[in-house]
Amino acid sequence: MSGGRAPARRRAVALGYDNERDHAPRVTATGAGSVADRILEAAREHGVPIREDRDLAEALAQLDLWQAIPPELYAVIAEVFAWAYRANREYGRG
């Protein structure tokens, strides 16, 4: 026996935010394995910046689809959204 941990399964979570409708960003897609791969493929096809953060993905994956993120994740999600806005600006997508 190797005693090591099994490789983590790829997980992806997509967030969306409509400032006219939502009080906080919502989980708009979530999945593991091949579903995660399809989420990432769709993001790439639509020019959506992708940020890898295994711990955050695991935390967000505990939420239901369309559920708003909880207040305890506001600060970290604000950092992610700021990163995405900068990435869009730098690459001329926003």
For 47-58, how does the pLDDT look when each residue is reduced to its tens digit (9 = 90+)? 888 999 999 999
Q: Is residue 1 part of a domain?
A: no
Tell how strand 26-32 and strand 11-16 pair up: antiparallel
We report the CATH number of the domain holding residue 60 as 3.40.1690.10
Q: Is the pLDDT of residue 7 over 60?
A: no
Nearest to 14 by CA among 38, 33, 23, 22: 38
Q: Is the pLDDT of residue 94 over 60?
A: no
Looking at the structure of the chain, the number of domains it has is 1
Whole-model pTM? 0.80
Q: Is residue 31 part of a domain?
A: yes
Q: Is residue 5 part of a domain?
A: no
**Contacts with 51 (C-beta within 8 Å, 6 or more apart), sequence order:** 80, 83, 84
Q: Is residue 6 part of a domain?
A: no
